[in-house]
């Protein structure tokens, strides 16, 4: 089809992934080592499928086996030095040793579980060295598979645990001896083998497998075709295609960078071809791709952690609560993109550039597995069972047509690919467990929460602002899972102490952890998009943040007005809140871009932004003021429209 002519090649896509996404930079193994890794990845998946079907093992066994598999495979697949990624074709000798040590660490609990349970709290010399090895292996595996930022943060937390008496002010504590720290980290379920790794070894792994099976049906490419069919011919069509396809891609990709590279490889060239500036084209894709992790029913891996961290809440309740904010996020980007396209006079795709509509709609059945997930979760089925049945449904649905059919070979490849994508998540959650263990043992969470409240003078909005800054800083270069674990244990309690319900507080830090990917100075998703567009990276990041301005506003909205999360509200109230929010988004989009039906003068831009903020703030008087301002501005747009249309060039 003509709309793929300028798309990046598979080789270029892989090159970009390896540059911006640490999880993509693996060795290209051949021969015996290649087969060993293949068998290891397949076994990793089969272990999780088996325990998913026949019941999970006890926490220590499930998590330690998961950890052993992940660590060993990371050392075999990820070279120690970044410059060698994607180039090495064999495993160096010391990585074989590290992989062997990882297997020993992973097998330690299964082999000695009876003795370890009997002497709980007492660490032998052998226990100490195995536990110390586990900590060091987790840190090095995290550095290789996830990146340096989260590794440094985990190290800082461990140093804090040891040198507590020397810490300043309210963060000082009694300190932990090294053997006590090792015991906490590996011989309890409060450290490495804690809740984050527990979620990785159950819910997350199986949903990553579901995503891998979906990819084998060609659903990723289908999302692009469907997006073009629906939005391609509208004003600035290619940009809207990027938004729509990225929202859909989020259901099968938990990585902002991976989403940018896969869908952006053809949407960005299309946008440039029709006249969008390089930085704006990259920004549209980066902001939309980052929002993919916010889109239910399958959100980023951190959403599964939220189930455990909040307690007493199902994954479906989280996905349902996140639905309206996610729609508002994408609507905000859509509105701003539409106004930008009108401002510079961009057309949509021509009929010749569009895919065959009948052919595209004939493949709507490929969406059935995603619809099935929604119904299974709504029915009250456990997340694990829903994931397993979704995989089965994907295989069955794929058989409808020959070109989408997943055969035995495809199933094996999906199992291997799913395990490969789980490695980075396993490392990140193990490192996050180190952080949670320190926070639990030292009481740092409550101390930091009280410190944040004191710094904010006990007021909610300043506390939210400080929490947002913390989440954005921690999210720069760190995976969303680790970011969420840190902010939910340190910053979220501050919001909860001020009377905010648990779910809005946790979703608040979850949102800002995700949009750190498009927030300069370290905006990985925007940098990946700029590599495709050829634009300036920092400017692309600034444009991304501007387009995603709704993402910086929406979390404040649902904290101040939990009705947006469908919490304790009526349908009439919910409709009113959503209506005013949408109108507010239109006003903010017009003010930020400087164009509505025509170009806005500076005072109209200020009035438009003010109207938007009044409408978004959940309060009756502000809603009335906002609606009056909005109505006046809309009237002015139509009244002066004919005389003030700017000269734009197609």
Provide DSSP, 420-432. HHHHHHHHHHHHH
Q: Would you say residue 366 lies in a domain?
A: yes
Domain with 603 in it: 570-650
Q: What is the pLDDT of residue 641?
A: 58
Those residues whose C-beta lies under 8 Å from the C-beta of residue 258, and which sit 6 or more positions away, are 17, 21, 24
Would residue 191 count as lying in a domain?
Answer: no
Residue 154 lies in a domain: no
Task: Report if residue 172 sits inside a domain.
Answer: no
In a domain, 434, yes or no: yes
Q: What is the pLDDT of residue 105?
A: 97
What is the structure's pLDDT at 220? 72
Q: In the prediction, which pLDDT does 228 show?
A: 80
pLDDT of residue 24: 63
Please give the Cα distance from 489 to 467 (Å, whole number): 12
Domain identity same for 206 and 218: yes
Same domain assignment for residues 484 and 353: yes
Give me the number of domains the chain comprises. 3
Residue located via tokens 């006046």: 632
Distance (Å, whole) CA 578 – CA 556: 14
- Please tell me whether residues 252 and 378 are part of one structural domain: yes
The pLDDT score that the predictor gives to residue 449 is 85
Query: Does some domain include residue 309?
Result: no
Gap between the Cα atoms of 481 and 499, Å rounded = 25
pLDDT of residue 646: 47
Answer yes or no: are the C-beta atoms of 467 and 456 closer than 8 Å.
no
Distance set, CA 561 to CA 54, 200, 296, 557 (Å): 42, 32, 20, 6
CA–CA gap between residue 475 and residue 288 (Å, rounded): 18
Do 252 and 379 share a domain, yes or no? yes
Are residues 349 and 252 part of one domain?
A: yes
Q: Do 555 and 577 sit in the same domain of this protein?
A: no
**Are 461 and 584 within one domain?**
no
Instruction: Tell me, yes or no, whether 12 and 117 share the same domain.
Output: yes
Q: Are residues 504 and 581 in the same domain?
A: no
- The CA angle 159-165-171, to the nearest 5 degrees, is 80
Please check whether residues 561 and 575 belong to one and the same domain. no
Is there a domain that residue 314 lies in? Answer: no
The pLDDT assigned to 155 comes to 95
Residues of the chain below pLDDT 50: 1-2, 642-650
Q: Which long-range contacts (CB under 8 A, 24 or more apart) does 307-314 make?
A: 307/199, 307/203, 307/383, 308/195, 308/198, 308/199, 309/195, 309/488, 309/489, 309/506, 310/502, 310/503, 310/506, 313/502, 313/503, 314/377, 314/380, 314/383
Measured CA distances, 336 to 104, 245, 352, 490 (Å): 54, 17, 27, 34
């Amino acid at each position: 089809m003509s709309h793929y002519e300028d798309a990046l090649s598979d080789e270029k896509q892989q090159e970009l992934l390896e540059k911006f996404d640490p999880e993509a930079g693996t060795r290209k193994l051949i021969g015996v080592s290649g087969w060993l890794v293949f068998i290891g990845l397949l076994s990793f998946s089969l272990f999780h499928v088996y325990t998913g079907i026949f019941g999970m093992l006890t926490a220590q066994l499930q998590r330690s086996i998961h950890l052993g598999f992940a660590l060993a495979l990371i050392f075999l697949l990820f070279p120690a030095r970044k410059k060698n990624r994607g180039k090495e074709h064999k495993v160096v000798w010391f990585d074989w040793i590290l992989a062997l040590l990882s297997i020993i660490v992973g097998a330690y609990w299964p082999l000695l579980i009876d003795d370890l349970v009997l002497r709980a709290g007492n660490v032998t010399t052998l226990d100490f060295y195995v536990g110390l090895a586990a900590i060091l292996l987790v840190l090095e595996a995290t550095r290789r598979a996830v990146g340096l930022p989260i590794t440094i943060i985990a190290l800082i937390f461990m140093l804090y645990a040891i040198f507590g008496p020397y810490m300043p002010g309210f963060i000082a504590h009694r300190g932990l001896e090294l053997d006590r720290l090792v015991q906490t980290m590996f011989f309890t379920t409060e450290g490495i083998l804690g809740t984050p790794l527990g979620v990785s070894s159950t819910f997350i792994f199986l949903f990553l497998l579901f995503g891998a099976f979906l990819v084998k049906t060609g659903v990723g490419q289908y999302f692009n075709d469907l997006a073009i069919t629906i939005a391609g011919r509208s004003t600035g069509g290619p940009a809207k295609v990027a938004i729509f396809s990225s929202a859909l891609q989020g259901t099968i990709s938990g990585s902002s960078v991976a989403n940018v590279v896969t869908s952006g490889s053809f949407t960005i060239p299309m946008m440039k071809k029709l006249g969008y500036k390089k930085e704006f084209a990259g920004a549209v894709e980066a902001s939309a791709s980052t929002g993919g992790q916010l889109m239910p029913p399958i959100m980023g891996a951190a959403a599964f952690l939220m189930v455990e961290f909040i307690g007493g809440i199902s994954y479906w309740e989280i996905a349902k609560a996140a639905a309206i904010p996610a729609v508002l996020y994408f609507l905000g980007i859509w509105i701003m993109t539409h106004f930008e396209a009108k401002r510079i006079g961009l057309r949509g795709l021509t009929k010749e550039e569009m895919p065959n509509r009948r052919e595209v709609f004939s493949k709507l059945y490929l969406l059935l597995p995603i619809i099935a997930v929604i119904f299974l979760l709504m029915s009250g089925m456990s997340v694990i069972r829903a994931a397993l049945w979704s995989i089965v449904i994907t295989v069955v649905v794929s058989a409808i047509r020959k070109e989408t059919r997943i055969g035995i070979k495809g199933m094996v490849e999906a199992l291997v690919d799913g395990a490969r994508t789980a490695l980075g998540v396993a490392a990140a959650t193990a490192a996050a467990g180190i952080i949670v263990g320190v926070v639990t043992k030292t009481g740092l969470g409550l101390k930091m929460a009280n410190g944040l409240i004191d710094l904010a003078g006990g007021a909610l909005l300043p506390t939210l602002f400080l929490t947002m800054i913390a989440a954005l800083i921690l999210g720069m270069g760190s995976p969303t899972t680790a970011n969420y674990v840190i902010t939910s244990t340190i910053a979220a309690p501050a919001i909860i102490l001020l009377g905010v319900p648990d779910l809005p507080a946790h979703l608040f830090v979850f949102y800002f952890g995700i949009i750190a990917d498009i927030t300069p100075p370290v905006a990985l998703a925007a940098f990946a998009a700029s590599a495709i567009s050829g634009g300036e990276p920092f400017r692309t990041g600034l444009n991304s943040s501007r387009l995603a301005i709704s993402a910086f506003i929406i979390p404040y909205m649902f904290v101040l007005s939990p009705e947006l999360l469908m919490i304790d509200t009526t349908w009439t109230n919910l409709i009113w809140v959503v209506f005013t929010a949408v109108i507010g988004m239109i006003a903010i989009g017009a003010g930020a871009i400087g164009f509505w039906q025509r170009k806005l003068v500076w005072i109209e831009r200020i009035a438009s932004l003010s109207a938007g903020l009044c409408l978004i703030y959940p309060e009756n008087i502000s809603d009335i003021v906002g609606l009056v301002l909005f109505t006046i501005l809309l009237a002015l747009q139509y009244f002066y429209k004919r005389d003030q249309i700017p000269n734009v060039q197609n």
